[in-house]
Chains A and B, each alone.
Chain A
């Protein structure tokens, strides 16, 4: 039944995918399906072959079926317009983004290395602050950061892990080199789409993915639960080994609510809201039909500010009064830890390669995008002199807001940007415009190149595990580089290939020891 589309249209009516791929032009960008002249993507050949055998109308029909199914299953996020909440799906493109086993081993090692360094950094800034004393990172950048939490000083955490759930935004430049664009170490989202996109592809395109050796993404929930249990504090009353884990969500009107549901289900734990929890004698309880029940470990999808009105933002209605004190006393685990925002700040980001060197004595496996920190006079001058060539980003914003893309900006926009930079230089960084790689994408007119990024997800308690692949976001609007869902981006299924049909055990062991190989900087 899976093979119905095979060879359906090979007779050259001009409407086959074959024809569209033959006239496809990546416009000089690195292409995720074809590579480039210097680095052709040989690992995608069998998928290319299968794509070429599809009939375009069939492809389009299956794509629209898939989107309807996303809507019916409620795999949606809420968008507010005219004071009404509307369900929207994250647009889904059916042409997958494919990563070879070798590329993935490199990325996995790079992500593990980065998380190791960031966790060491967080432990350091909330304890001895050696890295500040040694002058590697300006102290005021860290201590004066809005996301630095003095309350965390001196608190010891299991395995010294602060960032348990991490999303690293990667982009690929002209010559196909992956670079880190941004770290997400607070409450990264999007992992539910990774798994749901795969399910969608399995239903809609079994013929495309059969027998090509694909790494599974199914065990994310299990790995997350494992980590949540590992960090749960031991309980003297004898229920060790079966801690009560919950997922704390701001509620059904949060735009990422679907993901909260997804993760609670995958872990098999209750999804609670602040009003379901209560703190008594510095212990956290949830309200059940039978009364109060102790909670040991909380995957919280609420930001630091809103977590505890007694410790942080006093106006928060979403949080749980007293939870910070329970946390401080070690009576409950939180993931991510409080205060991780100081590590994924866009200004601190620029120092991460130096951080890796400082704590691990290694070069960064995945390099950063070249970054100018406008708080530094030279960098500010360079940025002001080259405004029309650079991307200027405020350091505190997420979701693609407040960004000025120099080469695309009008004169007036550039002047506005200049004024803001001069007014508060420390609030900005600038980067060259990365020519993001493209991937063939289904559009109104056929199949065209669209820019993509990649957000791998990793879970860390005692060790770090990286979900094979990650979320590929795609900028659906022609020419645009901003892939955020709030700015009209969509997503694709991300396929990490195994080495071959018979996977060699040697590969898995190489992956398990990331720091041993591939530490060249690119």
Chain B
């Protein structure tokens, strides 16, 4: 079976992550503009800046968290490593290195996408245009996913691609949820008020989960149910549970089908993580503090990423440690 260059595996893993990241950010910005208005009709953009704990960097560059500033920071600002253009640019740099491996169509689409974003100016991300532009970004990312599904050769590279995509998606879901953790503090005040409900709605929408959630919980929406749905639902494609189940199965297949024995450690870690997700209830999570729980999840995604890197991407380091 053809071997996969370790560097390619790393690039394909990150290519998937960056494209997934760009899509998620576009979702969040889109929904925030449309739905996340408070009782006075104003949009609260400062919560977005908490997404990646970006407050410090943001306020060094911009005086206020206005719609214009936040949208610029997250869409076009190349200085901001968590912006959409930075993610797409990183995706493209990885794709450039991967061109011997990926299909020409995958490369050309990312290249054209990036060049379009590069050509955008302030008017393109003005609030009245933002929905159309976010839709463009989402669609470009989904086009990427579709082209990849339809053209990328299904060998090891495909497994690493999906590992990256699912890990990033799980991570993004925890971040979206984290924006609203404060409303689930143990002694809530205006939980359940109309404003609060619309905010939880918007949260679901940003994860494309509103309709799916309605199907599972037709009779009403509680913050706890939404959080539980995004974390533990067995069928929702962006839930942490579904993503981690996929990650675990991919690692399993890398170990068995491709006999990558160095993959034992990440597999053990992912087994553990999956086990702990399966035995959790949302009530227990809230009682223990949602924010703290999300933090721990994000940390475990990050250690899993290092384990994967150690096992597969740095083959020159002694294998005996992990085998």
Contact = CB atoms under 8 A, between A and B. Distances in A.
Nearest to A78: B96
B258 interface: yes
B258 A265 contact: no
Contacts of B93: 252
B6 A276 contact: yes
B23 to A, nearest CB: 21
A286 B96 CA distance: 20
A265 B6 contact: no
A290 B258 contact: yes
A74 B96 contact: yes
Q: Which of A74, A252, A270, A286 has the most chain B CB atoms closer than 10 A to its own CB?
A: A74
> For the side of the interface on B, what is the size category?
20 to 34
B100 A273 contact: no
A292 B315 contact: yes
Interface residues of A, number: 24
Given A276-B6, A293-B3, A261 B319 contact: no
A303 to B, nearest CB: 21
A287 B7 contact: yes
Contacts of A276: 5-7
A293 B97 CA distance: 20
B8 interface: yes
A265 B100 contact: yes
A412 interface: no
B97 A252 contact: yes
B312 interface: yes
Given A74-B111, A290-B315, A252 B262 contact: no
Interface string B114-143: 010000000000000000000000000000
A275 B8 CA distance: 12
Contact of A74 (B9, B107, B316): B107
- Which of A261, A288, A289 has the most C-beta atoms of chain B within 10 angstroms of its own C-beta? A289
B108 interface: yes
A265 B98 CA distance: 11
B7 A273 contact: yes
Contacts of A261: 99-100
Query: Chain A interface mostly helix, strand, loop or mixed?
Result: mixed
Interface string B1-24: 001111111000000000000000
Interface in A265-279: 265, 270-273, 275-276, 278
Contacts of B314: 287
A207 B9 CA distance: 43
Contacts of A292: 315-316
B112 interface: yes
Contacts of A74: 96, 99, 107-108, 111
Contacts of A288: 3-6, 315
A290 B5 contact: no
A291 B5 contact: no
Interface of B: 3-9, 93, 96-97, 99-100, 104, 107-108, 111-112, 115, 156, 160, 254, 258-260, 262, 312-316, 319
Given A265-B99, A289-B156, 16 more contacts: A72-B108, A72-B115, A74-B96, A74-B111, A261-B99, A265-B100, A272-B7, A276-B6, A287-B5, A287-B7, A289-B5, A289-B9, A289-B258, A289-B262, A290-B262, A292-B316
